[in-house]
Structure 1
Amino acid sequence: MTQTGKKPRILIVGGGAGGLELAVKLGESLGKTERAEITLVDRSRTHVWKPLLHQVAAGTLDSHSDELEYLALSVRHHFHFRLGELVGLDRAAKEIHLAPVLSLEGEELLPESRLGYDYLVFALGSLTNDFGTPGAKEHCISLDSAPAALHFQRKLIDASLRAQLARPEQGRFTVTIIGGGATGVELAAELHMSTRIMTSYGLENLHPERDVKIVIVDAAPRILPLLPERVSSAVTRELRKLDIDVHTNEKVVQVSPEGVQMGSGKLIASGLTVWAAGIKAPDFLRDIGGLETNRANQLVVDKTLRSSRDPAIFALGDCAACPLDDSGKLVPPRAQAAHQQALLLAKTLPRLLSGKSALPFRYHDHGSLVSLGEYSTVGSLMGGIRSGSLFIEGMFAKWMYWSLHKKHQIAINGMFRTWLATWVEAIDRIRNPRIKLH
């Protein structure tokens, strides 16, 4: 109990993978026993695992079948859920400010409000960073959320229907993906598979090698620059087998309705453009409440994930600039890092309530996997052999990639519910079209 006799209030802002897992674990350990009041805040009503958004965009995954309802989860796991978007922080009063919640018609559902806390955790994830490139905001789609992925999928279907009636002399329809990281690469392979499947539903003019061109552009010397070179080389070979163009060492200087202009002078005439290069934390986090942030708007935290300027505030995941070691490097923005940090804070916060010290965070790199849809999966597992890593590809890698999503579901829903959901997914693959066509 606090000095006022009330239960301690732990407020988590952001219901992504890390934030939701933390809310579930604290709800089970502190909320269930009424040792603390746990509240999760998110501007969306449902949760979709972010690494799957490229499948939502390609139509190979129906987000409605995979999404989780925050309200239902809050009841099941003994935490509170508050719908709202963070717009301000009052550290002196220990309150956050939430914007009004509006309906689709613009009517006010919930007024502007404030929520108090004793401990505050930021788990807001990240957004794509267009680095101020002219025309990027106006003419590119960024896959930062499920609504954005669905917007791209609708644009893809519309473009596919138009391409179906196009005359051969009008040329191929081009989809340009700016960014050769995991998101861009996985989206390219998923789009190739999606357009191939469309031919079986009557869209004969959408053969992926004949009528659709998929292009990846990246400023780095190779795609997947943060992963081992062997992984990058293997993925590049697979993409070229699919006739997907890969342009490296090419900086995008402008995006227009006509296409993508590169610094070398090349122009890619693009019918649909996705920006998947670079990340940053949301802009409103920049110096919020006087907290220290870096150039990418990330909150600067110490090795315990505690804010450098307020001991009652923590941050995890992509929105946190957490030191990796004494070299000055930061923990990489990966889902596995957010998962590990959520596990740490699930131990740290109960310790703080008991008067104990916070635990330090140590990042363990378990490797990286890149899914190329039904074609292949390539990656490396850290600690697999004495040299520190094990290169994998093919069916074993596919199974490992699939298991990552299942581990996330188990962390939130438990083993039994995840087992049931897996059977439902298998039935849906038989009952429904292989891709979402609307």
Structure 2
Amino acid sequence: MHRFIVVGGGAGGLELATRLGDRYGKARKGGEPRASVTLVDRYPTHIWKPLLHEVAAGSLDPFTQELPYAAQARWHGFAFQQGELIGLDRAAKRIQLGAVRDDDGGELLPPRELDYDTLVVAIGSTTHFFGVPGAAENSIALDTVEQAERFRKRLIAACVRAEHQAPESTSAGVATSGEPRVQVAIIGAGATGVELSAELRNTAEVLSAYGLHKLDPRHDVGIVLIEAGPRILPALSERVSTATEDLLKKIGVQLYIAERVTEVAPGVVRMASGKSVRADLTVWAAGITAPSVLAQLDGLAVNKLGQLIVRRTLQTETDDSIFAFGDCAACPWPGNERNVPPRAQSAHQQATFLFRSSGNLLDGEPLPEFTYRDFGSLVSLGHFSAVGNLMGGVIGGSMLIEGLFARFMYMSLYRLHIAALHGYARMVLDTFAHWLRRTTLPRVKLH
């Protein structure tokens, strides 16, 4: 049997493994499966990464949304191997996985090697700190559920602690009279930073309503959003950026635009202009980079961002049997100066493309070329609103949308991801179950 290995269980990787397993991994009547499909990820469960800002704000309980890879594998005809990609032997067509350890540091699974005929790398991206002093040590990134949960717990602790401490007029890092008692600084006003800032405003109000603190959620809980570029949401259109900026100001988010962060110290963020911002908690959402392991994979070509360079077939420049897509791949976008952008819709389109071209691969036929279609972008501002633009195949042009319709479109993105993993019938049931949980639980996780 042909051996497919998909490394990376993010949105695109898991969708691809699921569809390959459904088509090739299940035994047909009177025969054997046509291929074996194995998914590799360093974590045991999957969560849709665009939801992590909601986990950090407490408006989403990750344990109700996590999907065990082993269960998905059992249901859809593929195998799952937990482990981190640490090496590649292209001549032997073999990958090396590192050991998996438990919470106490004991070895849970030993280092292993897996053989492949076709390897697909979809390990996503990681936070880029740009060498800013103190950024990695004194701020929290939102790459994993564990990081998001850590931020949420620290936020609740900071609010509870601040209620019983009188404001003091001292050096940076401590609130002065008239300042917010708790202040969160978010560095980077891309989609993650903007969405988190809005969700945190809602969180502050809910925590106060449930009595976890008696602080004024608008005056005593400050949210600061810092962007080095000339406007927020630099990857989106200026119309979307302007509309979002107006909405953020209405809900009390303080914006620092064109301010480059030069240091993140305990309790304070310093900028190149000489300004400084007190920060009880700091979130770093200023950029992404490819995982460093990609540059060490047996001669595979990478660009200056560390992404694997691929052709329009999504095959790597160096090896026809190795494919890459999503944030970790630099894929050409004909007619544009830049590559296909690192968005969830890109990974979804590329996963669908690879699934459709897998038949060509198995039959030894020429592979088609991938063409990215930009359907627009949406940004959620929690229960306050949503804003975005629809483009291309949706309306034949570009249109700014906001409010209820934009919120509906934003929520439908996740529902489409669920449908890709489980089918539309289970997606409908999951939506109903999610609505029931919302009616019986607080809107923010309180512990």
TM-score range, shorter chain: over 0.9
Residue 338 of structure 1 aligns to a residue in which SS? helix
For 1:269 and 1:66, how far apart are their aligned partners in 2?
A: 34
Return closer, same or farther for 1:225/1:135 CA change in 2, 3 Å cut-off. Answer: same
Corresponding residue for residue 353 of structure 1: 362
For 2:384 and 2:331, how far apart are their aligned partners in 1?
A: 36
Return closer, same or farther for 1:360/1:162 CA change in 2, 3 Å cut-off. Answer: same
Letter in 2 for 1:234: A
For 1:416 and 1:90, how far apart are their aligned partners in 2?
A: 42
- 1:309 corresponds to 2:321: no
- 1:49 corresponds to 2:58: no
Return closer, same or farther for 1:209/1:98 CA change in 2, 3 Å cut-off. Answer: same
For 1:74 and 1:203, how far apart are their aligned partners in 2?
A: 41
Corresponding residue for residue 268 of structure 1: 277
What count of residue pairs does the alignment treat as equivalent?
432
| CA apart distance, 1:385 | 8.2
Question: Which of residues 318, 333, 342 in structure 1 aligns to 2:351?
Answer: 342
Matches for 1:275-424 after TM superposition, within 5 Å: 275-325=284-334, 327-383=336-392, 388-424=397-433
| CA apart distance, 1:109 | 1.2
Matches for 1:87-166 after TM superposition, within 5 Å: 87-166=86-165
For 1:86 and 1:147, how far apart are their aligned partners in 2?
A: 20
For 1:385 and 1:96, how far apart are their aligned partners in 2?
A: 40
| CA apart distance, 1:155 | 1.3
CA contact (8 A) 2:47 2:66 kept: yes
| CA apart distance, 1:290 | 0.8
- 1:25 corresponds to 2:19: yes
Letter in 2 for 1:320: A
Moved more, 187-196 or 381-390: 381-390
Question: Which of residues 184, 193, 198 in structure 2 aligns to 1:175?
Answer: 184
Return closer, same or farther for 1:337/1:384 CA change in 2, 3 Å cut-off. Answer: closer
| CA apart distance, 1:166 | 2.2
Residue 415 of structure 2 aligns to a residue in which SS? helix
Residue 332 of structure 1 aligns to a residue in which SS? coil
For 1:411 and 1:137, how far apart are their aligned partners in 2?
A: 35
For structure 2, which runs of at least 5 residues remain unmatched after alignment?
Answer: 28-32, 169-174
Return closer, same or farther for 1:384/1:291 CA change in 2, 3 Å cut-off. Answer: closer
Letter in 1 for 2:280: G
For 2:411 and 2:336, how far apart are their aligned partners in 1?
A: 34
- 1:16 corresponds to 2:10: yes
- 1:238 corresponds to 2:247: yes
CA contact (8 A) 1:163 1:205 kept: no
For 2:394 and 2:439, how far apart are their aligned partners in 1?
A: 39
- 1:63 corresponds to 2:62: yes
For 1:195 and 1:258, how far apart are their aligned partners in 2?
A: 20
Percent identity among equivalent residues? Answer: 51
| CA apart distance, 1:328 | 4.3
For 2:230 and 2:237, how far apart are their aligned partners in 1?
A: 13
| CA apart distance, 1:61 | 0.1
Corresponding residue for residue 172 of structure 2: none
For 2:125 and 2:11, how far apart are their aligned partners in 1?
A: 12
Moved more, 245-254 or 375-384: 375-384
- 1:77 corresponds to 2:76: yes
For 1:310 and 1:163, how far apart are their aligned partners in 2?
A: 57
CA contact (8 A) 1:45 1:83 kept: yes
For 2:392 and 2:16, how far apart are their aligned partners in 1?
A: 26
Corresponding residue for residue 438 of structure 2: 429
Moved more, 51-60 or 384-393: 384-393
| CA apart distance, 1:206 | 3.2
Residue 442 of structure 2 aligns to a residue in which SS? coil
CA contact (8 A) 1:97 1:112 kept: yes
Moved more, 161-170 or 378-387: 378-387
Return closer, same or farther for 1:81/1:211 CA change in 2, 3 Å cut-off. Answer: same
For 1:141 and 1:275, how far apart are their aligned partners in 2?
A: 6
| CA apart distance, 1:384 | 7.1
For 1:8 and 1:383, how far apart are their aligned partners in 2?
A: 37
For 2:269 and 2:390, how far apart are their aligned partners in 1?
A: 36
| CA apart distance, 1:258 | 3.1
Moved more, 147-156 or 63-72: 147-156
Return closer, same or farther for 1:327/1:203 CA change in 2, 3 Å cut-off. Answer: closer
Corresponding residue for residue 4 of structure 1: none
| CA apart distance, 1:126 | 0.9
Letter in 2 for 1:200: A
Residue 180 of structure 1 aligns to a residue in which SS? coil
| CA apart distance, 1:358 | 1.3
For 1:109 and 1:306, how far apart are their aligned partners in 2?
A: 34
Moved more, 198-207 or 286-295: 198-207
CA contact (8 A) 2:41 2:81 kept: yes
Return closer, same or farther for 1:416/1:97 CA change in 2, 3 Å cut-off. Answer: same
Letter in 1 for 2:266: P
For 1:291 and 1:386, how far apart are their aligned partners in 2?
A: 40
| CA apart distance, 1:226 | 1.1
Quote the RMSD (CA, aligned, Å): 1.3
For 1:263 and 1:339, how far apart are their aligned partners in 2?
A: 38
CA contact (8 A) 1:196 1:206 kept: no
Residue 205 of structure 1 aligns to a residue in which SS? coil
Corresponding residue for residue 217 of structure 2: 208
- 1:191 corresponds to 2:200: yes
Corresponding residue for residue 3 of structure 1: none
For structure 1, which runs of at least 5 residues remain unmatched after alignment?
Answer: 1-6
